[in-house]
Amino acid sequence: MDHTALVLYYTRSQNTARLAKTAEGAIAKCGWQVSCMPLDKAEKEFPDKTPSLIILGTPVQYWTVPAAAMEYIQRLPNLNGCSAFVYSCYGGCVANNVPYTLAKELTAKGATAIGGAQLLTPHSCRIAGGKRLGDVERIFGKGMPDDEMLDEFKNAITSVIRAVETGTVSPVAMDRLKMNTKGFLAAAMNPVSPLKMKRMFMPPIVVNPSACEGCGACLNVCDTGSIRLDENKTATINQKTCYRCYGCMEVCPNEALNTNWKQAELLVRSMNWIAKNTEKSVFIL
């Protein structure tokens, strides 16, 4: 039997995408046919034949799956007969249940969740000099994933591949995917709207009209359609629908989009202090 795999990912700072490419390489090395694509393309480009295995990865936004990523996941087709391995990337600032949430969503579509991982990667919060917090401090993911972590990740993917090939897959105990919180944080925070919390704590993005050249790069990455070009070809942002993901700032070539990173950094450091005893990289098979 020819086995196929599909690697799906959602990314803003490229951490999740890099691990998706690592997974793709590990799968191809096992002799499987494998495709790799961002989640926003999956609805139109999902294979006609359900793959033997799906690898799904997202970052952590606050304590949960990014809202836009969740919408894309919920648009995926039925996955009956498909095994699934999930992973999340986080910058060390918040304990979370993201692997559990991802596995739960895929299971609801008929897949069998057989493993998961959470990996420390560079936090994308900007600080002085335009660097990311994760570029300068190890507790926020500097230098991660290192070679040891990447080897562990590739070994986990290979183990999943071999289990599918030999017909020895078995569902993972879902509660084991609540890797850092054992459900406590999610239980406390889920009743509160993530978007409302972001508006309360995370600083809004503002546009510098004199720097904006109307290239539209920010429009192309905005999952919520919150960015428009006005009659002067200047970007405008609907603050009521903006998720505060800051993906638009990552792609702006002219630094025309800005925010109060000091406020964001304060929140990130506060959350890191709360979550300081969480494990930084965990693999569950």
Q: Is there a single domain that holds both residue 12 and residue 151?
A: yes
Predicted TM-score (pTM) of the model is 0.87
Considering the domain architecture, whether residues 24 and 103 belong to the same structural domain is answered as yes
233 shares a domain with 154: no
Q: Could you tell me if residue 267 is inside a domain?
A: no
Could you give the CA distance from residue 257 to residue 211 in angstroms, rounded to a whole number? Answer: 9
pLDDT value, residue 197: 59
Q: Range of 129's domain?
A: 4-186+278-284
Residue 271 lies inside a defined structural domain of this protein: no
Res 283: pLDDT: 72
In a domain? residue 218:
yes
- Residue 285 CA from chain centroid, whole number: 20
Domain co-membership, 38 together with 175: yes
We report the CATH number of the domain holding residue 221 as 3.30.70.20
The answer to whether 118 and 152 have CB atoms below 8 angstroms apart is no
Q: Measured between alpha carbons, how far is 8 from 282 in angstroms, rounded to an integer?
A: 20
Residues 180 and 226 in one domain: no
Decide if 18 is inside a domain.
Answer: yes
Whether 62 maps to a domain, the answer reads yes
Say yes or no: 27 and 134 in one domain: yes
| 185 CB-side CA count, 13 A | 20
Residues 209 and 166 in one domain: no
CATH of residue 38's domain is 3.40.50.360
Based on the structure, what is the number of domains in the chain? 2
Do residues 30 and 167 share a domain? yes
Can you give the pLDDT at residue 127?
A: 85
Asked whether residue 107 is assigned to any structural domain, the reply reads yes
Residues 5-47 pLDDT 10s: 999 999 988 999 999 999 999 999 999 999 999 999 999 999 9
Q: Please report, for residues 79, 90, 97, 189, 195, the alpha-carbon distance to residue 176 in angstroms, rounded to integers and kept in the order given.
A: 22, 18, 10, 20, 27
> Is 194 contained in some domain?
no
Task: Determine, yes or no, domain membership for 199.
Answer: no
Whether residues 177 and 230 share a domain: the answer is no
Whose structure tokens read 């996955």? 79
Q: CA of 78: how far to CAs of 1, 3, 150, 159, in Å? A: 21, 18, 31, 25
Per-residue pLDDT of the chain (285 residues; tens, 9 = 90+): 689 999 999 998 899 999 999 999 999 999 999 999 999 999 999 999 999 999 999 999 877 898 889 999 999 999 998 999 999 998 888 778 899 999 999 999 999 999 999 999 999 888 877 789 999 999 899 999 999 999 999 999 999 999 999 999 999 998 888 865 544 444 445 545 555 655 667 899 999 999 999 999 999 999 889 999 999 999 999 998 888 888 899 899 999 999 999 988 988 888 788 766 565 667 776
Residue found by looking up tokens 């304590």 in the block? 63
Q: What is the 3-state secondary structure (H, E, C) of the chain?
A: CCCEEEEEECCCCCHHHHHHHHHHHHHHHCCCEEEEEEHHHHHHHCCCCCCCEEEEEEECECCECCHHHHHHHHCCCCCCCCEEEEEEEECCCCCCCHHHHHHHHHHHCCCEEEEEEEEECCCCCECHHHCEHHHHCHHHCCCCCCHHHHHHHHHHHHHHHHHHHHCCCCCCCHHHHCCCCCCHHHHHHCCCCHHHHHHHHCCCCEECCCCCCCCCHHHHHCCCCCEEECCCCCEEECCCCCCCCCHHHHHCCCCCEECCHHHHHHHHHHHHHHCCCCCCCEEEC
Q: Are residues 214 and 174 in the same domain?
A: no
**Contact indicator for 156, 150 with CB cutoff of 8 Å:** no
Do 248 and 137 share a domain, yes or no? no
Are 21 and 70 found together in one domain? yes
